[in-house]
Chain A
Amino acid sequence: MSTRVGVVVFPGSNCEHDVVRALQGLGAGAELVWHDRRRLERLDALVLPGGFAHGDYLRPGALARFSPVMDAVARFAADGGPVVGICNGFQVLTEAGLLPGALQKNAGLRFLCTVVPVVVSSTRSALTGHLELGSVLELPINHFEGNYTGDEATLAQLRAEDRVVLRYAVNPNGSADDIAGICNEAGNVVGLMPHPERACDPLTGRTDGQGLLRSLLSAAVAAPSPALGGG
Chain B
Amino acid sequence: MAPPADGTLEETGLHRALGLTDEEAARIAEILGRPANHLELAMFAVMWSEHCSYKSSRLHLRRLPTQGPDVLVGPGENAGVVDAGDGIAVALRIESHNHPSAVEPYQGAATGVGGILRDIFTMGARPVALMDPLFFGPPDDARGRWLVEGVVAGISGYGNSVGVPTVGGELTFAPTYARNPLVNVLCLGVMPKERLVLGRASGVGNLVVLLGATTGRDGIGGVSVLASTGFAESGDDGAKRPSVQVGDPFEEKRLIEACLELLDRQLVVGVQDLGGAGLTCATCETAARAGTGMDVDVSAVPRRQPAMEPFEVMTSESQERMLAIVAPGDLGALQEVCRRWEVRATAIGTVTAPDAGGVGRLRVLDGPEGMVLADVPATSLADEAPLYDRPLAPPADVEHRQVDEATMSSSTAADCGEDVVAMVMDSSWVWRQYDHMLFLNTVVGPGGDAAVLRLAAPGLPPSRRGLAISTDSNPRWCALDPRRGTAATVAESALNVACAGARPVALVNCLNFGNPEHPEVMWQLSECVDGMAEACLALGIPVIGGNVSLYNESAGTDIDPTPVVAVLGVIERLERRPPSMGLVEDHGLVLLGTTQRTLAGSRWAVERRGRRGGTLFAVDLAAHRRLLDLMVELVGQQGLLGSVHDVSGGGLALGLAESVLAGGVGTRISVGWDHVELFSESPGRVLLGTRHTDEVLAQAAAASVPAAVIGSTGGDRLIVEGLVDLTMKELTDRWRRALPEALGEPAPA
Q: Could you tell me the distance in whole angstroms from the C-beta of A120 to the nearest C-beta in chain B? A: 22
Q: Is there a chain A Cβ closer than 8 Å to B454's Cβ?
A: yes
Closest residue on chain A to residue B165 by CB atoms? A113
Determine whether the beta carbon of B250 is less than 8 Å from that of A55.
yes
Pick out which of these stretches binds chain A: B213-221, B411-419, B437-445. B437-445
Q: Specify which chain A residues have a CB less than 8 angstroms from the CB of B431 in the assembled complex.
A: 113
Determine whether the beta carbon of A52 is less than 8 Å from that of B254.
no
- CA–CA, A183 and B47, complex, Å: 57
Determine whether the beta carbon of A198 is less than 8 Å from that of B577.
no
- CA–CA, A151 and B594, complex, Å: 65
- CA–CA, A140 and B442, complex, Å: 12
Q: Could you tell me the distance in whole angstroms from the C-beta of B568 to the nearest C-beta in chain A? A: 20
Pick out which of these stretches binds chain B: A12-20, A38-46, A155-163, A219-227. A12-20
Within A38-63, which residues are at the interface with B (CB < 8 Å)? 51-52, 54-57
Q: Is there a chain A Cβ closer than 8 Å to B30's Cβ?
A: no
Q: Specify which chain B residues have a CB less than 8 angstroms from the CB of A51 in the assembled complex.
A: 163
Closest residue on chain B to residue A18 by CB atoms? B440
Determine whether the beta carbon of A113 is less than 8 Å from that of B435.
yes
Q: Specify which chain A residues have a CB less than 8 angstroms from the CB of B153 in the assembled complex.
A: 110
Determine whether the beta carbon of B250 is less than 8 Å from that of A17.
no
Determine whether the beta carbon of A111 is less than 8 Å from that of B250.
no
Q: Which of B254, B342, B433 has the most CB of A within 10 A?
A: B433
Q: Is there a chain B Cβ closer than 8 Å to A153's Cβ?
A: no
Q: Specify which chain A residues have a CB less than 8 angstroms from the CB of B668 in the assembled complex.
A: none
Q: Could you tell me the distance in whole angstroms from the C-beta of A9 to the nearest C-beta in chain B? A: 10
Determine whether the beta carbon of A112 is less than 8 Å from that of B432.
yes
Within A148-199, which residues are at the interface with B (CB < 8 Å)? 195, 197-198
Q: Could you tell me the distance in whole angstroms from the C-beta of A130 to the nearest C-beta in chain B? A: 22
Q: Could you tell me the distance in whole angstroms from the C-beta of B163 to the nearest C-beta in chain A? A: 3
Determine whether the beta carbon of B433 is less than 8 Å from that of A12.
no
Q: Specify which chain A residues have a CB less than 8 angstroms from the CB of B443 in the assembled complex.
A: 203-205
Q: Specify which chain B residues have a CB less than 8 angstroms from the CB of A56 in the assembled complex.
A: 161, 250
Q: Could you tell me the distance in whole angstroms from the C-beta of B102 to the nearest C-beta in chain A? A: 22
- CA–CA, A221 and B440, complex, Å: 27
Determine whether the beta carbon of B454 is less than 8 Å from that of A52.
no
Determine whether the beta carbon of A55 is less than 8 Å from that of B576.
no
Determine whether the beta carbon of B342 is less than 8 Å from that of A113.
no
Q: Specify which chain A residues have a CB less than 8 angstroms from the CB of B358 in the assembled complex.
A: none
Given contacts A110-B433, A111-B156, A111-B433, contact A54 B250 (CB under 8 A): yes
Q: Is there a chain A Cβ closer than 8 Å to B299's Cβ?
A: no
Q: Is there a chain B Cβ closer than 8 Å to A22's Cβ?
A: yes
Q: Specify which chain A residues have a CB less than 8 angstroms from the CB of B576 in the assembled complex.
A: 202-203
Closest residue on chain A to residue B439 by CB atoms? A18
Q: Is there a chain A Cβ closer than 8 Å to B434's Cβ?
A: yes
Q: Could you tell me the distance in whole angstroms from the C-beta of B288 to the nearest C-beta in chain A? A: 35
Given contacts A11-B253, A14-B253, A203-B576, contact A111 B440 (CB under 8 A): no
- CA–CA, A22 and B439, complex, Å: 11
Given contacts A11-B342, A54-B250, A204-B442, contact A142 B437 (CB under 8 A): yes
Determine whether the beta carbon of B435 is less than 8 Å from that of A52.
no
Determine whether the beta carbon of B342 is less than 8 Å from that of A140.
no
Q: Is there a chain A Cβ closer than 8 Å to B693's Cβ?
A: no
- CA–CA, A183 and B688, complex, Å: 48
Q: Specify which chain A residues have a CB less than 8 angstroms from the CB of B440 in the assembled complex.
A: 18, 21-22, 197-198, 200-201, 204
- CA–CA, A142 and B436, complex, Å: 9
Determine whether the beta carbon of B249 is less than 8 Å from that of A112.
no
Q: Is there a chain A Cβ closer than 8 Å to B458's Cβ?
A: yes
Determine whether the beta carbon of A111 is less than 8 Å from that of B437.
no
- CA–CA, A142 and B577, complex, Å: 22
Q: Mark B139-161, 1 if CB is under 8 A from A, else 0.
A: 00000000000000100110011
Q: Specify which chain B residues have a CB less than 8 angstroms from the CB of A205 in the assembled complex.
A: 443, 577
Which of A113, A195, A198, A204 interacts with B432 by CB under 8 Å? A113
Q: Mark B537-560, 1 if CB is under 8 A from A, else 0.
A: 000000000000000000000000
Which of B161, B434, B574 interacts with A52 by CB under 8 Å? B161
Q: Specify which chain B residues have a CB less than 8 angstroms from the CB of A15 in the assembled complex.
A: 438
Q: Could you tell me the distance in whole angstroms from the C-beta of B746 to the nearest C-beta in chain A? A: 10
Closest residue on chain A to residue B459 by CB atoms? A17
Q: Could you tell me the distance in whole angstroms from the C-beta of A126 to the nearest C-beta in chain B? A: 23
Determine whether the beta carbon of B254 is less than 8 Å from that of A11.
yes
Q: Specify which chain A residues have a CB less than 8 angstroms from the CB of B249 in the assembled complex.
A: 52, 55
Determine whether the beta carbon of B436 is less than 8 Å from that of A113.
yes
Q: Specify which chain A residues have a CB less than 8 angstroms from the CB of B428 in the assembled complex.
A: 114
Determine whether the beta carbon of A52 is less than 8 Å from that of B253.
yes
Determine whether the beta carbon of B454 is less than 8 Å from that of A57.
no
Q: Secondary structure at chain A's binding surface: helix, strand, loop or mixed?
A: mixed
Q: Specify which chain B residues have a CB less than 8 angstroms from the CB of A202 in the assembled complex.
A: 576-577
Closest residue on chain A to residue B438 by CB atoms? A14
Q: Specify which chain B residues have a CB less than 8 angstroms from the CB of A204 in the assembled complex.
A: 437, 440-443, 454
Determine whether the beta carbon of A203 is less than 8 Å from that of B577.
yes
Determine whether the beta carbon of B163 is less than 8 Å from that of A11.
no
Q: Could you tell me the distance in whole angstroms from the C-beta of A82 to the nearest C-beta in chain B? A: 22
Which of B157, B437, B454 interacts with A203 by CB under 8 Å? B454
- CA–CA, A201 and B574, complex, Å: 13
Closest residue on chain B to residue A110 by CB atoms? B433
- CA–CA, A54 and B249, complex, Å: 10
Closest residue on chain A to residue B431 by CB atoms? A113
Determine whether the beta carbon of B574 is less than 8 Å from that of A12.
no
Given contacts A11-B341, A111-B160, contact A17 B458 (CB under 8 A): yes
Q: Could you tell me the distance in whole angstroms from the C-beta of A150 to the nearest C-beta in chain B? A: 25
Q: Specify which chain A residues have a CB less than 8 angstroms from the CB of B254 in the assembled complex.
A: 11-12
Q: Specify which chain A residues have a CB less than 8 angstroms from the CB of B437 in the assembled complex.
A: 113, 140, 142, 195, 198, 204
- CA–CA, A145 and B226, complex, Å: 35
Determine whether the beta carbon of A18 is less than 8 Å from that of B250.
no
Q: Specify which chain B residues have a CB less than 8 angstroms from the CB of A57 in the assembled complex.
A: 250
Determine whether the beta carbon of A14 is less than 8 Å from that of B433.
no
Q: Specify which chain A residues have a CB less than 8 angstroms from the CB of B433 in the assembled complex.
A: 110-113
Q: Mark A79-116, 1 if CB is under 8 A from B, else 0.
A: 00000000000000000000000000000001111100
Q: Which of B250, B432, B438, B440 has the most CB of A within 10 A?
A: B440
Q: Mark A127-150, 1 if CB is under 8 A from B, else 0.
A: 000000000000010101000000
Q: Mark B326-352, 1 if CB is under 8 A from A, else 0.
A: 000000000000001110000000000
Q: Specify which chain B residues have a CB less than 8 angstroms from the CB of A203 in the assembled complex.
A: 443, 454, 574-577
Q: Could you tell me the distance in whole angstroms from the C-beta of A105 to the nearest C-beta in chain B? A: 13
Q: Specify which chain A residues have a CB less than 8 angstroms from the CB of B248 in the assembled complex.
A: 55
Q: Could you tell me the distance in whole angstroms from the C-beta of B501 to the nearest C-beta in chain A? A: 13
- CA–CA, A113 and B575, complex, Å: 25
- CA–CA, A55 and B458, complex, Å: 22
Determine whether the beta carbon of A52 is less than 8 Å from that of B163.
yes
Determine whether the beta carbon of B253 is less than 8 Å from that of A142.
no
Q: Specify which chain A residues have a CB less than 8 angstroms from the CB of B454 in the assembled complex.
A: 203-204
Q: Could you tell me the distance in whole angstroms from the C-beta of B338 to the nearest C-beta in chain A? A: 12
- CA–CA, A50 and B251, complex, Å: 18
Closest residue on chain B to residue A16 by CB atoms? B458
- CA–CA, A14 and B126, complex, Å: 13
Q: Could you tell me the distance in whole angstroms from the C-beta of B521 to the nearest C-beta in chain A? A: 37
Closest residue on chain A to residue B466 by CB atoms? A203
Q: Could you tell me the distance in whole angstroms from the C-beta of B165 to the nearest C-beta in chain A? A: 9
Given contacts A198-B440, A204-B437, contact A12 B432 (CB under 8 A): no
Q: Specify which chain A residues have a CB less than 8 angstroms from the CB of B439 in the assembled complex.
A: 17-18
Q: Specify which chain B residues have a CB less than 8 angstroms from the CB of A34 in the assembled complex.
A: 340
A-B contact pairs, 29 of them (CB 8 A): A11-B254, A12-B253, A15-B438, A17-B458, A52-B161, A55-B248, A55-B249, A57-B250, A110-B433, A111-B160, A111-B435, A112-B433, A113-B160, A113-B432, A113-B435, A114-B428, A114-B432, A140-B437, A142-B160, A144-B160, A198-B440, A202-B577, A203-B574, A203-B575, A203-B576, A204-B440, A204-B443, A204-B454, A205-B577
Q: A17-B439, A111-B160, A197-B440 are in contact. List 6 more A-B contacts (CB 8 A).
A: A21-B440, A22-B440, A54-B250, A113-B434, A113-B435, A142-B437
Interface, chain A (partner B; CB < 8 A): 11-12, 14-15, 17-18, 21-22, 34, 51-52, 54-57, 110-114, 140, 142, 144, 195, 197-198, 200-205
Q: Which 3 A-B pairs have the closest CB atoms?
A: A55-B250, A14-B163, A52-B161
